[in-house]
């Protein structure tokens, strides 16, 4: 076991180091980005209320479009619930459909 580790030793750290330096801004960048966790799962929120516009507001930034989950990190289940809540809130003019 120890021998195996020793054998792999010299090339290991150096190989990893060069990959890190060489691919700056490359496809490996994703690996070093902090992994986002769905904030509704983390906060154990089971029901997303359309009446709470203040809570929904961060998910409709700038032009009032719904923030895609690849950016917000929200899981599929909660994104679906979020979508429904935002559509209801929009209908009741609690949230805008678009800005301008």
Partner 1 sequence: MSQARQYELVYIVSPDATEQDVADLHAQVEANVARYGGGMVKSENWGRRKLAYRIGKHREGTYVLEVFTGTGELTKELDRRLKVSDHVIRHLCIRVDEELRLAERTKARREADQQKRIARGLSAGGAKQRAEDEGGDDDQADRAEVS
Separation of alpha carbons 87 and 94, rounded Å: 10
Nearer to Zn ion, 41 or 55 (CB): 41
- CB neighbours of residue 82 within 10 Å: 22
Question: Of 45, 50, 59, nearest to 87 (Cα)?
Answer: 50
Q: Which does 55 bind (CB under 5 to 8 A by kind): Zn ion, partner 1, none?
A: none
Q: Which does 76 bind (CB under 5 to 8 A by kind): partner 1, Zn ion, none?
A: none
Strand positions, DSSP E, the chain: none
Does the footprint of partner 1 cover residue 32 (CB under 8 A)? no
Q: Which does 93 bind (CB under 5 to 8 A by kind): partner 1, Zn ion, none?
A: partner 1
Q: Which does 78 bind (CB under 5 to 8 A by kind): Zn ion, partner 1, none?
A: Zn ion
CB of 94 to partner 1, least distance (A): 6
Distant-in-sequence, close-in-space partners of 49: CB < 8 Å, separation ≥ 6: 55, 85
User: Reduced to 3 states, what is the DSSP secondary structure of residue 63?
Assistant: coil
Which chain residues interact with partner 1 by CB under 8 A? 2, 5-6, 8-10, 12-13, 44, 46-47, 51, 53, 88, 90-97
């Amino acid at each position: 076991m120890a021998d195996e580790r020793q054998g792999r030793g010299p090339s290991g750290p150096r190989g990893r180091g060069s990959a890190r330096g060489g691919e700056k801004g490359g496809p490996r960048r994703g690996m070093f980005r902090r992994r986002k966790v769905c904030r509704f799962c983390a906060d154990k929120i089971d029901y997303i209320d359309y009446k709470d516009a203040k809570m929904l507001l961060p998910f409709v930034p700038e032009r009032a479009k719904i923030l895609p989950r690849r950016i917000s990190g929200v899981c599929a289940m909660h994104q679906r619930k979020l979508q429904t809540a935002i559509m209801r809130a929009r209908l009741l003019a609690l949230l805008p459909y678009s800005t301008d």
